[in-house]
Chains A and B, each alone.
Chain A
Amino acid sequence: MKLLLHCSIECFQFRCSTVQVCTSRFWFNYRHVANTLSIYRSVKRLGIPDSHIVLMLADDMACNPRNPKPATIFSHKNMELNVYGDNVEVDYRGYEVTVESFLRVLTGRLPQSTPRSKRLLSDDRSNILIYMTGHGGNGFLKFQDSEEITNVELADAFEQMWQKRRRPLPRVDGVVVHQPDLAIGVHLMDRYTYYLLEFLEDIHPASQINMNDLFRVCPPSQCVSTPGHRTDLFQRNPKSVLITDFFGSVRKVEITNHIIQLTANDTETETR
């Protein structure tokens, strides 16, 4: 089950932060980790820095003893692309990925000592993209084989984010398996993520593709599942929002025109 949620607030300048969670353990859930890492790679390519990404992986596939190609994770059966790469920054790994830590990241209720890399740094002018992948069913998503997160808890978390001005725009879909790989022996990727990645790979900083195109990425004919989306909470017309705008990779800059005058090495400070 995959959940791709876009949260957005205002029309003007914004940055995007993302939370990416892979909730499955064990080697046969290889494809979930590959999904998450592929999306992570695409999102970084679109310009979002590591400081704005919270990546949670429940298991380590790259260094799993069953991995025939250690230190790599592939998302395509031709083994073209090693999505693990050299500069992956995993913020929550292994048993740190729990429902509690996920909800704490979303609502910001972390203990004081939590380092910056484990926090979701966003404010009232950010978009938040939440990507969750794992096993689930009607109204819940399984976390690490021992607990689950219900849709009510997720809705509560979003309610609190709304209160602090991070409003959600949910989009849910179902899971289908896509490509088995015979060498590694497990499925590599799911259909939805496959088409989504194809879509995202085509985007470069000057592209004019808008949000509506994103919603049309996975039609039922190709995906054999039911992606849905809601736009009523989004304050702008999706057709008018560029993907690059939404993902915040293009900053607004201003030329510094007005400069103050300083006297070199002057100690004339008015003490009053």
Chain B
Amino acid sequence: MAAAEERSRGKYSASCITVVVILLGLPLWWKTTETYRASLPYSQINDLDILLLDISVPVEVVFARGTLTTEQQKKLLPQTQFSQKVNQLDDKTGFKYRYEKTYRAATGIEQDAIMGENVEVAVVTLSRVYESLAGSVVIYVVPADSQLLPQEVSVYIGKHRAAFLRSPVTGSHSVEDVLQDIDDNVEEILQTMSFTDDMVIAALSNRVPSGMFGTDTFRDSMTAFKSSLGYEITFSLLNPDPKFHNVCWEIERAVNNYVQPFLDKLSFIANFSVDSQILYYAVLGVTPRFDKTSSSFSLNEDSLPHVINPVEAKLGSSVASSYPVLNFLLYVPEYSHSPLYIRDSSGSPVESNAFHSSRWGGIMIYNVDQRQLNETQLPVAVNIDMARVMEVFLSQLRLLLGIQRVQPLSESLVQSPGNMVVTDWETDSLLWVRTVENIATATNTLTSLAQLLDEIGNIVINDNIASEVYSAVASVQRSLQELEAGRLLPAFLASKEAITSSEKAFFDPSLLHLLYFPDDQKFAIYIPLFLPMCVPIVLSLLKTGKDLKWRKKVD
């Protein structure tokens, strides 16, 4: 009897323990050992994997008095037309863009400006008439015999967002012909003032494998920095021979006069910080050759790449900032190597006496005027003409920031930006490309992050990362919508937010998978703990089960 009681007590205790383990223990263990993973919008991120950009460029075509006959004008104006182009790069990436052209007649003020004789004055007046939004283009069609543009010029692109087109329309044109002619010219102007297909393809390049690109524009885009959120610009003066030349440059004044206005204009694109330094006894790593015919020293185009590395080691840079550095070096050659010219492949001296390297910066060689060296007292004071130097440095800076050089159209004239350094439409061009690039990079980062977090199930996802991801996804969607509506500036700002948030989320220090335990290690930890406990319980359960079966057979 006692044995039977023992046995039944044993059975009950084994089953109770099992029940407690299963109902209480297992869920508790599961809950306490799971890693905290905040929820992420995986489905929305998946949707972003397929990127079909829809870009809209608002264009106004304004006809001055005298360009259209009354009949043409009555039939034609005002109206709006679209012309669209689609480009599918691969099955996940593609873009289409449309020019939304509004045709209208010139207002009184515009008419007065166009009737003038000086095109630069007209540009200034028209730019004050109304604020043109970033990304928009206005094309004024002036009469064929207008005195506004110089004789042979049929297209003039101003430094703001207006362009002038000498009318190709004659009285005998039918309405369709008018539209056709005007449209052809307008498309050409728009390709210059907004963006070309190649530029957009290059901006989408990190979503598409290489090998699909055209040549020149891709190479140009390689010259520029990939969108960075900030740049550190350093101006350095290299004086290899301070005993002879006492070089002084008024860099602070030059930066305030020429560089700072340019950077302020672009301040919404990136953060810029400017500093300067002077290096003494710093020599170029390459010995220049002496040229007897011109009794000057020269550096060949081939030896230029070897100049940068030795000098780069000596340049200081700010420790605190993690933005990429753009170095601009001004080298004043020593007396024994003066004058020093850079010669191109055909052997003729380069006008600017400067060269640049993509993603690094530029170097300019400043030859001291030898006639000043009649003084016998050393060192000789050298005052550097900062305007000339800044012309070169700012041109290099433009290229390094991605402001593309445009192919000039036939019979066209492009107004130089002067002290503005960059025209409004060049800024717009930069914004289009940057926005597309930001969207491409942000979507890439988000999809990679989602994929990564999916694969490595042990990484903890904190709330701040989740909120950054949500914000990045929302910003990308907003940017795409703004692009579609043709509002460039909001689209760019949203894309900048998107890329900031997505990079912050991706590179968060907490995403290191140190909680990773390979499966064999997990078993090695659990088995010594649970196996000794489980073995007697499992055995007694088995015995209980056998007993029940035996009893059923007996019954």
**Contacting residue for A258 out of B309, B405, B456, CB 8 A:** B405
User: For window 210-254 of chain A, which residues contact chain B by CB distance below 8 Å?
Assistant: 249-254
B529 within 8 A of A: no
Task: For B392, give its contact among A119, A259, A266, A272 (CB under 8 Å).
Answer: A259
> A256's contact among B306, B309, B395, by CB below 8 Å, is which?
B395
Given A255-B355, A269-B261, A100 contacting B419 (CB threshold 8 A):
no
Please determine whether B351 and A259 come into contact, CB atoms closer than 8 angstroms: yes
Given A47-B309, A100-B514, are A259 and B395 neighbors across the interface (CB < 8 Å)?
Answer: yes
Decide yes or no whether A183 CB sits under 8 A from chain B: no
Asked if A264 is at the interface of the complex by the 8 Å CB criterion, the answer is yes
Q: A49-B313, A124-B226 are in contact. Are A255 and B416 (CB under 8 A)?
A: no
Q: Which of A31-39, A77-85, A157-165, A186-194 contacts B (4 or more CB under 8 A)?
A: A157-165
Point out the residue from A111, A116, A156 that lies within 8 Å of B513, measured CB to CB.
A156
A115 contacts the other chain (Cβ, under 8 Å)?
yes
Q: Is A152 an interface residue (CB 8 A)?
A: yes
Q: Distance in Å from the Cβ of B39 to the closest Cβ of chain A? A: 21
B166 within 8 Å of A (CB atoms): no
User: Chain B residues with Cβ under 8 A from A163's Cβ?
Assistant: 448-449, 451-452
Docked-complex contact A266 and B419, CB < 8 angstroms: yes
Q: Which of B322, B396, B449, B455 contacts A116 (CB 8 A)?
A: B322
Q: Name the one of A117, A156, A265, A266 contacting B516, with C-beta atoms under 8 angstroms.
A: A156
Across the interface, which residues of A come within 8 angstroms of B355, CB to CB? 253-256
Q: How far is the CA of A104 from the CA of B511 in the complex (A)?
A: 10
Interface residue B418 (Cβ < 8 Å from any Cβ of A): yes
Check A13/B358 contact, CB under 8 A, given A50-B313, A261-B418.
yes
Minimal beta-carbon separation of A165 from chain B (angstroms): 7
Question: Nearest chain B CB to A43's CB is how many angstroms away?
Answer: 12
Taking the complex as formed, is B312 at the interface, i.e. its CB lies under 8 A from any CB of chain A? Answer: yes
The count of residues in chain B whose C-beta lies closer than 8 Å to any C-beta of chain A is: 74
Whether the pair B512, A109 counts as a contact (CB closer than 8 A) is yes
Q: Which residues of B contact A11 (CB under 8 A)?
A: 210
**Interface segment, one of B88-96, B267-275, B502-510:** B502-510
A136 sits at the interface (CB 8 A): no
Q: State in angstroms the CA–CA spacing of A253 and B419 once bound together.
A: 27
> Which single residue of chain B is at the shortest CB-CB distance from A205?
B306
A109-B509, A262-B387, A263-B419 given as contacts; is B352 within 8 A of A256 (CB)?
A: yes
Report yes or no: B508 in contact with A109, Cβ–Cβ below 8 A: yes
Q: A111-B509, A260-B398 are in contact. Are A269 and B420 (CB under 8 A)?
A: yes
Q: Chain B nearest CB: distance from A244 CB in Å?
A: 11
Interface string of B331-364 (1 = CB under 8 A from A): 0000000000010100000111011111110101
Whether, in the assembled complex, A95 has its beta carbon less than 8 Å from a beta carbon of chain B, the answer is: no
**A107 proximity list for chain B (CB < 8 A):** 512
Q: Answer yes or no: B183 CB below 8 A from chain A CBs.
A: no
Establish whether residues B357 and A252, one from each chain, have CB atoms under 8 Å apart when the complex forms: yes
Q: Considering only CB atoms, which chain B residue lies closest to A206 in the complex?
A: B306
Please tell me the number of chain A residues within 8 Å of chain B, measured between CB atoms: 56
Task: Give A47 to B285 CA distance when docked, in angstroms.
Answer: 12
A41 → B minimal CB distance (Å): 14
| A268 in the interface (beta carbon within 8 A) | yes
> Within the assembled complex, what's the spacing in Å between the Cα atoms of A47 and B420?
38
Q: Give Cα A255 to B395, complex, Å.
A: 12
> Across the interface, do B387 and A264 meet the contact criterion of CB distance under 8 Å?
yes
Q: Is the CB of B395 within 8 A of A258?
A: yes
**Is B540 at the interface (CB under 8 A from chain A)?**
no
Provide the bound-state CA to CA distance between A107 and B471, in Å: 23
A262 touching B390, Cβ below 8 Å: yes
- Decide if A202 is an interface residue (CB 8 Å cutoff): no
A residues in contact with B358, CB < 8 Å = 13, 252, 254
User: In the assembly, what is the distance between CA of A112 and CA of B319, in Å?
Assistant: 13
Q: Assess the B509–A160 pair: CB atoms within 8 A.
A: no
Decide yes or no: A255 and B357 within 8 Å by CB, A152-B518, A262-B390 being known contacts: no
- Given A250-B305, A259-B392 in contact, is the A265-B257 Cβ separation under 8 Å? yes
Complex contact B357–A153 (CB within 8 A): no
Residue among B304, B306, B391, B511 making CB contact with A262, cutoff 8 Å:
B391
Taking CB atoms, residues of chain A closer than 8 Å to B261 are 269
| Alpha-carbon separation in the docked complex, A269 to B394 (Å) | 16
**B309 engages A255 (CB within 8 Å):** no
Q: Is the CB of A251 within 8 A of B309?
A: yes
> Does B509 contact A253, Cβ atoms closer than 8 Å?
no
Q: Which residues of A contact B356 (CB under 8 A)?
A: 253-254, 256
Does A63 reach chain B (CB closer than 8 Å)?
A: no
Measured CA separation A249–B305 after assembly (Å) = 9
CB distance from A257 to the nearest CB of B (A): 7
Q: How far is the CA of A257 from the CA of B353 in the complex (A)?
A: 9
**What's the minimum C-beta distance from B350 to chain A, rounded to whole angstroms?**
5
Cβ of A13 and Cβ of B509 under 8 Å apart? no
- The docked-state distance in angstroms from the alpha carbon of A161 to that of B146 is 60
Chain A residue nearest to B360 in the complex (CB): A251
Nearest chain B CB to A141's CB is how many angstroms away? 15
Is A262 within 8 A of B350, CB to CB?
A: no
CB distance from B326 to the nearest CB of A (A): 14
A258→B516 CA distance, assembly (Å): 55
Are A249 and B309 within 8 A (Cβ)? yes
Inside 8 A of A115's CB, which chain B residues have their CB? 319-320
Interface residues of A in 108-128 (CB under 8 A from B): 108-111, 115-117, 119, 123-125
- Judge whether B127 is part of the interface by a CB distance below 8 angstroms: yes
Please tell me if A209 contacts chain B, counting CB pairs below 8 Å: no
In this assembly, does A145 line the interface, its C-beta being within 8 Å of a C-beta of chain B? no
Residues of chain A within 8 A of B222, CB atoms compared: 12-13, 125
Interface flags for B11-52 (1: CB within 8 Å of A; 0: not) read 000000000000000000000000000000000000000000
Does A91 sit within 8 A of B, measured CB to CB?
no
With a cutoff of 8 Å between Cβ atoms, the chain B residues found around residue A12 in the complex are 210, 222
User: How far, in angstroms, from A165 to B160 measured CA to CA in the complex?
Assistant: 38
Contacts of A253 in B (CB 8 A): 304-305, 308, 355-357
Determine whether A42 belongs to the interface, using a CB cutoff of 8 Å to chain B: no
Question: Is A150 on the interface with B (CB-CB < 8 A)?
Answer: yes
Is A103's beta carbon under 8 Å from chain B? yes
B112 in the interface (beta carbon within 8 A): no
Closest to B389 in A: A262
| Contacting residues, chain A, for B80 (C-beta < 8 A) | none
**A45 to B16 alpha-carbon distance, docked (Å):** 74
Q: Decide yes or no whether A173 CB sits under 8 A from chain B.
A: no
Interface centre among A11, A254, A256, A259 (most CB of B within 10 A): A256
Q: Determine if A164 and B416 form an interchain contact, defined as CB atoms under 8 angstroms apart.
A: no
- B180 sits at the interface (CB 8 A): no
Provide the residues of chain A in CB contact with B420, threshold 8 Å: 269-270
Tell me if B421 counts as interface (CB < 8 A to partner A).
yes
Instruction: Contacts A258-B405, A269-B261 known; list 11 others, CB within 8 Å.
Output: A116-B317, A116-B321, A152-B518, A156-B513, A159-B452, A253-B305, A254-B223, A256-B356, A256-B362, A260-B391, A268-B418
Which 9 A/B pairs are nearest by Cβ-Cβ distance? A163-B448, A264-B387, A256-B354, A253-B357, A253-B304, A259-B395, A256-B352, A47-B309, A251-B305
Residues of chain A having any CB pair with chain B under 8 Å: 10-13, 15, 47, 49-51, 100, 103-104, 107-111, 115-117, 119, 123-125, 150, 152-153, 156, 159-160, 163-165, 205, 249-266, 268-270, 272
Please list 24 pairs of residues, one from A and one from B, whose beta carbons are closer than 8 Å in the complex, sorted by A's number: A12-B210, A49-B312, A107-B512, A109-B508, A109-B511, A124-B226, A156-B516, A205-B306, A250-B305, A250-B306, A253-B355, A254-B223, A256-B356, A256-B395, A260-B391, A262-B390, A262-B418, A263-B387, A263-B419, A265-B387, A269-B419, A270-B160, A270-B420, A272-B128
